[in-house]
Structure 1
Amino acid sequence: MSTRAVAREFNVNFSNVSHLQRRFREFCRTSNRPHNRRRCETRPGSPHPLQSPSADVREFACASISRVVQQSQTIPGFLQRDAVRRLGPLMLDRSLAVRETATGALRNLSACGGHEVCDDMVKQDVMTPLTALLREVRPSLVNHSLTLMYLWKNTVEDVANEAVNLLWNLCESSSQALSVFNKAGILDVILQCLERHTHNIKLALSAAHCLHTVTEDNAELLCSMNNAVLGTLESVLLSSQADMSHTLLRTLAAGSVWNLKSSLPTAHQAQTLTALMATLSQCLELDAGTLIPQLRQVEVARSATMEDDEEEGVGLRKNGKATKIDKDFSDLLPVSPVLFSSQKQTHQTLLSYGYRDPKGKEELREATALLTAQQTSLEIIVNMCCSDDPSDDEWEEASSSDESEMCPDGLSEGNTSLLSPLCLSAEVHAALINHNIPEKVLKKTQFPSSEAMDVCRHNPTWKILIKKMHRVQYRALTCLHNMLSTMDAESLGGAAALQAVAQHLSTLVFSPPEIPKEEEFLEAVTSAMRSLLQIIAYMKIPQCMTPQQMMSLSEAATCCDVVSVRVNALAILGITGSTLAKENGTAETLQMIGNALLQVATKDANLVVCGEALDALFDVFADGDEAERAAENINLLSALKALQPVFKAKIRKEGKGKYSPEQLCVLDNVKVNLRRFIGYLETVVKK
């Protein structure tokens, strides 16, 4: 299961190219060219800007493409003009600045173009110059301790960062790119970038994102795993830096370790699992609702300080101490100042040694890293607890199975792997409980704090965090759903805790002025409610949600375009109705539920949804005096007889073209059960 592909924002480089525009105008003046031209075009017969003998022109052309392709409607035009084949060789240009901007342009093209564009880029052989570039920068990353490298380190690592981001985008979207990654032997380059985390967290994060992507469901890569790979990941997991960027780095490393679980040496599995779970737990302990307002306050204070610094001529700060950029900075660096010929080089080098640029957005980056880390942590736990949704019968059968058939450690015979992907192993189960993961996940299912939301609403640059805060909530709800599907009730706190969870979910849905219509929220919350109600029904725990609330949720969900939301709502009605059918005086409510289910079964355009509505009808009216009375009052038998031939015809006519073999198998079962249920209702009428 990969939710990461949906969760991740576009991996785009939004670098400002205004300095390049100034440099290009200067070039135009020195070359007797009109400097008011809007494009770096030349007279007929002159070289294309990307092939200009001037590095400045090549750099500006690449930067212009990088900016323009962020508008998706421009991408087809660039592809038609063979932009990939023109930009590819520039990744190996003799100018490092051109390399960086060319790779950045391809990175933006891959991010903004989507899967099809990534596939097209791979077909146009973008992987050949990309892998060559990564191999070429590796020695510079390895030999970063050389004194001379202090002059070039930032530039080389900036090129590497663009290349790793491009690789990440391509491998996430293209199986062919992933295959090239596996065969080209560039895993070592990614690890080298990851090991730079103490000096260049930006590059290390790009490498960690890329590694997290390429290790997911990649059996071919598992053959390349060795102690060095796992050792690098474990060293990152055990790092102690407390900032949010390193929190995200550790979280991504934890995800990669989980992806590589089958390659872990048996002797180290328990220790690695503990470190992995501790990383996720520490990340989820952080309260974004408190930290985001605090970070914003720090930014406001820093902005005020920056204004004062500009008046005093201060360019940089370290640990709160102002530092002016002038000729005398020999006490600040371990290298001789004679190596640096410009103020720009001085400025970049000071940054590399921990001096903070007042014009940066450190606090916003920290807040973004925090939310990304929490979303990623929740997605990892989702995968740990991943389980196919069982039907009511399957769930009941699994819940009532004889525990004597299980081994003492909770594993079935023949399955002794600590990190088995086939089930939630006893060790993983225990680790989740020992680190209070269920409790922390439940806390993240709450709506974002009003204080944090207000901070983001009132600051344009922070508004991007609103969607990220909501996404953390959605992932937490999905995580809760998976834990409810794979963990036993006692581990989750027993009947009282489950009732509290039910009350909490009902508050999420019914406390706002109206039921939220956000599709991602509805999908996550209805999945969690469905799993919870299945457990509650089996354990005969009183429900916290009234039938009227269930009906209003169902009405909101059935208007949703997402099929899974409609299916979940129908399943919830079925579970609720089957429980009510066992109680006295519920016939009127059962009639209301039955009419709603019949409406969907008759009119929904999706056969999977129709099938779920019929399944729910079978559950609600399967047995009991109240169910029989309600079925008679709504003429259920005649309604199903009229529906039967229509349903069969739709399966025959639409099935093979629109639905998967698995869905068709389920629909065939519904068709058989419909015939049997009609027979059952006929016997009831004859009584």
Structure 2
Amino acid sequence: MGKSKNKKFRRPQFSAEGLPVSAVKNVEDEEEVESPADELLEKLQSPCADIREYACASISQIVKQSRAIPAFVQRDALRCLGPLLLDRSLTVRETAAGALRNLSACGGVDVCEDMVKQDILTPLTALLRECCTGFDSSSGILPKSPKDQKNLLEAVANEAVNLLWNLCECSSQALSVFNKAGLLNVLIQCIERHPHNMELALSAARCLHTVTEENAELLGSLNMAVLGGLEAVLLSSHPGMGLTLLRILAAGSVWNMKSSLPSDRQAQILSAVVATLSHCLELDAGALVPALLGAEAVRCMAGPAGADGEAREGEMEEDEEEEEGDGSMRNRKTAKRDNDFSDLLPVEKVELREAATLLEAQQTSLEIIGNLCCSDDPSDDEWEETSSSDEGELCSDSVCEGNSSLLSPLCLSAEVHSALLNHNMPEKVLKKTEFPSSAAVEVCSKNRAWNCLIKKMHRVQCRALTCLHNIMSVMDAEALGGAPALQALAEHLSNMIFSKPEIPKQEEFLEAVTSAVRSLLQIMASKNIPQCMSPEQLLRLSEAATRSEAVSIRVNALAILGITGSTLAREQGSAPSLQVIGSALLQVASKDHNMVVCGEALDALFDVFADGKEAEQAAKNIHLLPSLKALQPAFKAKLRKERKGKYSPGQLCVLDNVRINLKRFIGYLESLP
């Protein structure tokens, strides 16, 4: 292909790791194992609120075991729990929402679709509206003090928002209901509670960040109240990691709505978005995490609060062990949500919650910056499935009347390019690729409760590498600091990859680092800038990557080989190295089961052996011409057989070009003396 593919981050899907804390009560182990669905569902009909609450809380706990879910679904648990969202008791509402939240999280897409089909969104919408009305009134359902009443109301809203979030991610019908029901304003009201209840505000902000992504229908309901609410959050300057994360999520939502922003405000809002992201990345998590852990130790020595926290660490660690990562997060239907477990941590673990929130904020910042560097042009990612949504299709007259769209695709890159450079974003992103610091990893590894942050810290590094890849894909060498900066970056990546005897095998890291190396080699090759990675090192990296199950990693590996080979072909005496590269590419092109990978291998071969005496000699030595002639019929037949359903139209278009170029390249080789 000869060009980099941008990796677009999508908000990850809710998974079993994100379970509610307040709505899940302790249930005896015997009940979890036996899963007494009939008995608990019967208790949901009890006239006693305490019994209904107990039944909901028991279901919440039991369905965390996925094997228990079918027993409840088959017995119509969704229909039984739905009406309890509007129960006369607020505590029953909270635990019912928590049970449904856990069912949706652990049951996955199928259970979420069932919830939508059984109209769970009708009582859920009514519940959210009642909660928002109750925020501003002293009236209540329970005879408690106004303060207790409001706290309980916010707890109910938090569970309801998380349920809504999951449904909208898993079901397009749920997203359509969200749009038509005007729930955008409900989320803004919840976000505005941040001075009083940061947990609720963050849940609503995460949901908003998700539902505004590639949702053209929603943009028609965007109004100045929504924009004003998000701007107020962006401009907030109070201390605390919670507000830092809230501002980041607001910035991401604003960016998702960019095509509907008022034209006279776009430059100002873009500047505020990038400034918010920049400020977050300036925080030195490598120093802050150990400092927060130290502060916790001092506080625990001064009182007994720490003892309670130790008793509950096991619960949090169990959640963390199930964490799964999806480096590029392209598919909103299958990608797992990152384990944003800060709302699961014990309340007394203040410093640990702060550290977890900081890492989530920096990860999200890097994802948003990566998306800023993704063009709306589908050709920027030829091998990826093109988006079917058009964010600019619908637009509210009240907001964007006469909008010439400063942030339109024609001038988006220039505006973002300027904003990123003004805030030294390439340098800040590069700094995060050096994360996590050994000091932070060491202190967390020695503390049972804090050990769970190590994966989070490594994920920040992976996001930074992918973000760096996107930046290099859209900026020229001069904007990135010229030859010296690029050579320093090559040395940095080389140390990161080759400092250990074996190439790291973690899939998330391997995808991120191969993407970054690919973009760096490409831009250096285009400017004839020497780099420190040897062909032998790059071959080792590519060999490790081509053994990966992930298509994107194998594609990156082949592109790296193609760039390395085409650069070597210009050097005298490089024929032996070209033979090794050519043989590796031929092996993949003829044997890989995925047509996208085969196509990339062939395309790399075209680049490596396109011209030059060294390339001609190497091609003859590895019998490239007869090998390609033998491969051609099989490639055409496989493409014809698999073109329906398995690959996107964009991928098929590229594969057709490879097929045509293969025929032409064979003709070129036949013409050589």
Q: 1:64 to 1:421 in 2, by over 3 A?
A: farther
SS at match of 1:418: coil
Q: 1:424 to 1:438 in 2, by over 3 A?
A: farther
The 8 Å contact of residues 11 and 169 in structure 1, kept in 2 or not, is answered as no
Report the alpha carbon displacement of residue 555 of structure 1 after superposing the two structures with TM.
Answer: 0.6
The 8 Å contact of residues 212 and 253 in structure 1, kept in 2 or not, is answered as yes
Aligned residue identity for 2:576: E
Cα distance in 2 for residues equivalent to 1:7 and 1:418 = 34
Cα distance in 1 for residues equivalent to 2:271 and 2:15 = 27
Identify the residue that residue 547 of structure 1 maps to in structure 2.
535
The 8 Å contact of residues 24 and 60 in structure 2, kept in 1 or not, is answered as no
Identify the residue that residue 20 of structure 2 maps to in structure 1.
13
The 8 Å contact of residues 562 and 607 in structure 2, kept in 1 or not, is answered as yes
- Asked whether 1:4 is paired with 2:11, we answer yes
532, 535, 539: which is aligned to 2:520?
532
Identify the residue that residue 284 of structure 1 maps to in structure 2.
281
- Asked whether 1:114 is paired with 2:111, we answer no
430, 436, 460: which is aligned to 2:424?
436
Cα distance in 1 for residues equivalent to 2:382 and 2:51 = 68
Identify the residue that residue 77 of structure 1 maps to in structure 2.
71
Cα distance in 2 for residues equivalent to 1:542 and 1:284 = 30
Report the alpha carbon displacement of residue 8 of structure 1 after superposing the two structures with TM.
Answer: 8.1
Aligned residue-pair number = 605
SS at match of 1:375: helix
Report the alpha carbon displacement of residue 393 of structure 1 after superposing the two structures with TM.
Answer: 13
- Asked whether 1:103 is paired with 2:104, we answer no
46, 55, 73: which is aligned to 1:61?
55
Q: 1:545 to 1:7 in 2, by over 3 A?
A: farther
Backbone CA RMSD of aligned residues = 2.9
Cα distance in 2 for residues equivalent to 1:392 and 1:629 = 34
Identify the residue that residue 183 of structure 2 maps to in structure 1.
186
Report the alpha carbon displacement of residue 596 of structure 1 after superposing the two structures with TM.
Answer: 0.8
- Write out per-residue CA displacement over residues 626-651 of structure 1, whole angstroms, 9 at most, x where no aligned residue: 11111111111121122122222222
The 8 Å contact of residues 502 and 544 in structure 1, kept in 2 or not, is answered as yes
Identify the residue that residue 127 of structure 2 maps to in structure 1.
133
What does residue range 478-517 of structure 1 map to in structure 2 within 5 Å?
A: 478-517=466-505
- Write out per-residue CA displacement over residues 453-496 of structure 1, whole angstroms, 9 at most, x where no aligned residue: 22332333323322211111111111111111111221111121
SS at match of 1:658: coil
SS at match of 1:198: coil
Identify the residue that residue 301 of structure 1 maps to in structure 2.
298
SS at match of 1:212: helix
Cα distance in 2 for residues equivalent to 1:446 and 1:512 = 16
Aligned residue identity for 1:85: R
Identify the residue that residue 48 of structure 1 maps to in structure 2.
42
- Asked whether 1:244 is paired with 2:262, we answer no
Cα distance in 2 for residues equivalent to 1:218 and 1:308 = 45
Aligned residue identity for 2:106: C
**Percent identity at matched positions?**
67
Identify the residue that residue 395 of structure 2 maps to in structure 1.
none
SS at match of 2:44: helix
Report the alpha carbon displacement of residue 145 of structure 1 after superposing the two structures with TM.
Answer: 11
- Write out per-residue CA displacement over residues 76-128 of structure 1, whole angstroms, 9 at most, x where no aligned residue: 22211111111111111111111100001111111222222211211111101
Identify the residue that residue 153 of structure 2 maps to in structure 1.
156
Report the alpha carbon displacement of residue 391 of structure 1 after superposing the two structures with TM.
Answer: 8.7
Report the alpha carbon displacement of residue 358 of structure 1 after superposing the two structures with TM.
Answer: 9.5
SS at match of 1:267: coil
Report the alpha carbon displacement of residue 659 of structure 1 after superposing the two structures with TM.
Answer: 2.4
Aligned residue identity for 1:384: L
What does residue range 512-523 of structure 1 map to in structure 2 within 5 Å?
A: 512-523=500-511
Report the alpha carbon displacement of residue 604 of structure 1 after superposing the two structures with TM.
Answer: 1.2
- Asked whether 1:221 is paired with 2:218, we answer yes
Cα distance in 1 for residues equivalent to 2:238 and 2:382 = 49
The 8 Å contact of residues 445 and 474 in structure 1, kept in 2 or not, is answered as yes
Cα distance in 2 for residues equivalent to 1:392 and 1:246 = 34
Aligned residue identity for 2:463: R
Cα distance in 1 for residues equivalent to 2:35 and 2:576 = 73
Q: 1:268 to 1:587 in 2, by over 3 A?
A: same
Report the alpha carbon displacement of residue 448 of structure 1 after superposing the two structures with TM.
Answer: 1.3
Identify the residue that residue 448 of structure 2 maps to in structure 1.
460
Identify the residue that residue 334 of structure 1 maps to in structure 2.
none
SS at match of 1:582: coil
The 8 Å contact of residues 382 and 482 in structure 1, kept in 2 or not, is answered as yes
581, 586, 594: which is aligned to 2:574?
586
Q: 1:641 to 1:371 in 2, by over 3 A?
A: same
Report the alpha carbon displacement of residue 274 of structure 1 after superposing the two structures with TM.
Answer: 1.8
The 8 Å contact of residues 40 and 49 in structure 1, kept in 2 or not, is answered as no
The 8 Å contact of residues 251 and 373 in structure 1, kept in 2 or not, is answered as yes
Identify the residue that residue 336 of structure 1 maps to in structure 2.
none
Cα distance in 2 for residues equivalent to 1:580 and 1:89 = 69
What does residue range 141-540 of structure 1 map to in structure 2 within 5 Å?
A: 141-143=135-137, 149-307=146-304, 360-387=348-375, 417-421=405-409, 424-540=412-528
What does residue range 626-637 of structure 1 map to in structure 2 within 5 Å?
A: 626-637=614-625
Higher relative contact order (CA 8 A, sep 6+): 2
Cα distance in 1 for residues equivalent to 2:646 and 2:235 = 49
Aligned residue identity for 1:100: E
Aligned residue identity for 1:121: M
Higher mean C-alpha deviation, range 50-59 or range 658-667: 658-667
SS at match of 1:154: helix
Cα distance in 2 for residues equivalent to 1:284 and 1:472 = 11
Report the alpha carbon displacement of residue 149 of structure 1 after superposing the two structures with TM.
Answer: 2.3
Higher mean C-alpha deviation, range 494-503 or range 194-203: 494-503
Cα distance in 1 for residues equivalent to 2:413 and 2:529 = 27
Q: TM-score, with normalisation over the residues of structure 1?
A: 0.83
SS at match of 1:266: coil
Q: 1:117 to 1:516 in 2, by over 3 A?
A: same
Q: TM-score, with normalisation over the residues of structure 2?
A: 0.85
Aligned residue identity for 2:535: P
Cα distance in 1 for residues equivalent to 2:246 and 2:381 = 40
Identify the residue that residue 89 of structure 1 maps to in structure 2.
83
Cα distance in 2 for residues equivalent to 1:193 and 1:448 = 33
Report the alpha carbon displacement of residue 423 of structure 1 after superposing the two structures with TM.
Answer: 5.5
The 8 Å contact of residues 303 and 358 in structure 1, kept in 2 or not, is answered as no
Cα distance in 2 for residues equivalent to 1:514 and 1:482 = 26
Structure 1, unmatched stretches of 5+, are 22-34, 312-356, 395-414
Cα distance in 2 for residues equivalent to 1:486 and 1:579 = 21
Cα distance in 2 for residues equivalent to 1:579 and 1:310 = 61
Report the alpha carbon displacement of residue 42 of structure 1 after superposing the two structures with TM.
Answer: 9.5
Aligned residue identity for 2:185: D
Aligned residue identity for 2:540: S
Cα distance in 2 for residues equivalent to 1:532 and 1:543 = 9
- Write out per-residue CA displacement over residues 242-288 of structure 1, whole angstroms, 9 at most, x where no aligned residue: 21111001100111111111222222222222221111011011111
Cα distance in 2 for residues equivalent to 1:6 and 1:122 = 17
Report the alpha carbon displacement of residue 210 of structure 1 after superposing the two structures with TM.
Answer: 1.2
Structure 2, unmatched stretches of 5+, are 1-7, 309-344, 384-402
Report the alpha carbon displacement of residue 567 of structure 1 after superposing the two structures with TM.
Answer: 0.9
Max Rg structure:
1
Cα distance in 1 for residues equivalent to 2:307 and 2:586 = 71
Aligned residue identity for 1:682: E
SS at match of 1:575: helix
Cα distance in 1 for residues equivalent to 2:488 and 2:645 = 44
Report the alpha carbon displacement of residue 53 of structure 1 after superposing the two structures with TM.
Answer: 1.2
Identify the residue that residue 397 of structure 1 maps to in structure 2.
none
